Chain A
Amino acid sequence: MTPLLQVEGLSKHYGNFLGCGDVSFTLWPGEVMGIVGESGSGKSTLLNCLAGHLTPDAGRVLFDTREQGLRDTLAMAESERRWLARTDWAFVHQNPRDGLRMNVSAGGNVGERLMAVGARHYGNIRSQATDWLDRVEIDTGRIDDRPRAFSGGMQQRLQIARNLVTGPRLVFMDEPTGGLDVSVQARLLDLMRGLVRRLGLSAVIVTHDLAVVRLLADRLMVMKDGRVVEDGLTDQVLDDPQHAYTQLLVSSVLQV
């Protein structure tokens, strides 16, 4: 089997400040990897470098493209990378406003991504949009409403529908449950787990919530000050942490 994503020696500096340093890992098809660490540990920088939103100073990001196998996405033409971002990749932002068009209807938000990859038949686009609203548990009667009129949890589910409608193989998520109240979080987690499993997606999820990664991620990477201090099987890293920082992180969680 070919890895879906292979990251080698990825580094990003902001001036003299280290964003993330010398990160390497391999993600296999169907695997979900979590990245945890406190604010400023470099996890979002890493995610944005992987997804092509930021240009790293060094390293390679190899992605298993459908036509040509493993290709370094950093060395691709911008147009090629944009095409990947619209088709095989998806990016779920913490704030749905960053991932949705707030002045376009819910159906339009989902349909827009389909049109970006060439769909033109209105009826087909609308029926696929309806199908996806249903899959993320949004009442299909609200297809013509704008996301502005949706609750935070609904907006986040709409963002997920918009991202998954083109059948991506790799999903980047930045704090997907951040800012939602706990009952909405649980519902979203359940939904994401089902979708990841049914569609055989691979995902990289950045979060500071250890409970979220325990439920969603197969593997876990712990970052501190821009470096990966520990990585491995999620339950091994959480139940038998080896690094001082991971031990501190795990023991700091409040028990409910």
Chain B
Amino acid sequence: MIEIADVGKRFVLHNQGGAILDVMHAACLNVRAGECVALVGASGAGKSTLMRMIWGNYRCDQGSIRVAGVELCGAQARDVLALRRSRLGYVSQFLRVIPRVPALNVVAEPLVVQGVDEDHARAQAAALLTRLNIPQRLWALSPTTFSGGEQQRVNIARGFIHPWPVMLLDEPTASLDAVNRAVVLDLIREAKTHGAAILGIFHDAAARDAVCDREVDMAQFTPAAAGAA
């Protein structure tokens, strides 16, 4: 479901003397349906960069990234948007929301965008928030006022409300307590059972061992001279 071949990434910083950062070289990686693969490597090895290139908010300059059959290198904006609407899910590290929108609607949004009836979408959102132990009195409030762990759980609920065939997880268990961490690991296992192809970054080694089938070390794709720059 995710096929990455010979991918390279370079940042050119025009306003800092045209500095060039080579951060990735000839990255290759495949994730099949029903499989969870962990990206590992030190800080600056390019784990998040690769995730963002798959999500499409970093441009892919070199090589090929195919997600659910769609080539992302050189893709049109509308093709990437269509992919994100129903086939590619992303749990980022931080929640970015409009102030004033209730948590329940934030979680339901990915379904509503796909045309699911709003009441039905909110009912599913409520079920997930309950499962992630977000008290009902918070549902009508904007997550901007929530604690870090609560925001992260809202983010996870939003990421798991639709059975995306391909999922990207950036530190899904960070800042969670043991109970909620177990819930998230269960959600990941269920997604795998449904056939999702999952690529994740997990600093929590126990969580990684619990859900991931194999690891890919990003260090092998880091250009020798540049390092993390």
Contacts and interface: CB of A to CB of B under 8 A. Distances in A.
Interface residues of B, number: 21
Main SS class of interface, A:
helix
20 contacts: A31-B78, A183-B99, A186-B99, A190-B98, A190-B99, A197-B112, A197-B113, A215-B98, A218-B77, A218-B81, A233-B80, A235-B57, A239-B52, A239-B58, A240-B11, A240-B52, A244-B14, A244-B15, A247-B15, A251-B15
Contact of B77 (A186, A214, A233, A244): A233
A251 B56 CA distance: 20
B58 A236 contact: yes
Nearest to B61: A242
B32 interface: no
A213 to B, nearest CB: 13
Interface residues of A, number: 26
Interface of A: 28, 31, 183, 186-187, 189-190, 193, 197, 214-215, 218-219, 232-233, 235-236, 238-240, 242-244, 247-248, 251
Nearest to A186: B99
A239 B78 contact: no
Contacts of B58: 236, 239-240
Contacts of B59: 232, 236, 240, 242
Interface of B: 11-15, 52, 56-59, 77-78, 80-81, 96, 98-101, 112-113
A185 B179 CA distance: 38
B15 A190 contact: no
B188 to A, nearest CB: 24
A187 B100 CA distance: 7
A184 B14 CA distance: 36
A41 B21 CA distance: 30
A189 B98 contact: yes
Contacts of B14: 243-244, 247-248
Contacts of A28: 78
